[in-house]
Chains A and B, each alone.
Chain A
């Protein structure tokens, strides 16, 4: 099983600041990496797939980068609605053994 780790566990950021979230895979997942945002009481929302492609309707302040085992989600200027938990997900295996990271909580500093 491919194990996903995320750092930091919690990131305290002021509105308008930049946030950088990291995700690491225990083995290469190529670019088969997605990022999701989840707010309390809500379902996750797809932000980024293919490591760097924004999903439909996702603002340009969200960007993803990386390949292989190291990935980054950057939020260029945090808005109030961006405070949430962010999960990375790999979908590289075949047959699928999809795994998620433990999440990074972005809260208000």
Chain B
């Protein structure tokens, strides 16, 4: 059974940093692209970042470029999102999601981890 479990969310002050993790199991992690998608409270879905299976290709939404860094460790079956210079508008539930094809669509999702940016 495919499982994706996010962790690392919490309350952080504006300008602060946080590192999210996503532990994958039930599939060959190193064969799939992975993604982060966020959802602000009561709002819709926003794609954040994608990383190819071997980390050769990395992409970001303009809203996070230069502040967030996606990475993965295939030996540990883990995906990460380093978030720096956090803003109030980054407050959201962050989901990791597996890419079914080159990047999308996203066929499996974790349960999400909440990031709250507030003073």
Chain A interfacial positions (CB closer than 8 Å to B) = 1, 32, 34, 36, 38, 42-46, 49, 55-56, 87, 89, 91, 95-103
Most chain A beta-carbon neighbours within 10 Å: one of B46, B61, B105, B110:
B105
| A46 lies within 8 A of B45 (CB) | no
Measured as residues with beta carbon below 8 angstroms from the partner, the interface class of chain B is 20 to 34
B104 within 8 A of A: yes
Instruction: Evaluate whether A96 and B104 lie within 8 angstroms (CB atoms) in the complex, with A43-B110, A43-B111, A43-B112 already known.
Output: yes
Nearest opposing residue in chain B for A55, CB measure: B107
| A45 lies within 8 A of B109 (CB) | yes
Q: Which residues of chain B from 40 to 55 have any CB-CB distance to chain A below 8 Å in the complex? A: 44-47, 50
Q: Looking at the complex, which one of A42, A45, A87 makes contact with B45 (CB distance below 8 Å)?
A: A87
CB contacts (< 8 Å) of B27 on chain A: these are none
B95 within 8 A of A: yes
Chain B interfacial positions (CB closer than 8 Å to A) = 35, 37, 44-47, 50, 57, 59, 61-62, 95, 100-101, 103-112
| B109 lies within 8 A of A43 (CB) | yes
Instruction: Evaluate whether A103 and B44 lie within 8 angstroms (CB atoms) in the complex, with A43-B110, A43-B111, A45-B109 already known.
Output: yes
Nearest opposing residue in chain A for B48, CB measure: A98
| A98 lies within 8 A of B103 (CB) | yes
| B50 lies within 8 A of A96 (CB) | yes
Nearest opposing residue in chain B for A49, CB measure: B105
Bound complex: CA A44 to CA B100 (Å): 14
Q: Looking at the complex, which one of A89, A99, A101, A102 makes contact with B105 (CB distance below 8 Å)?
A: A89
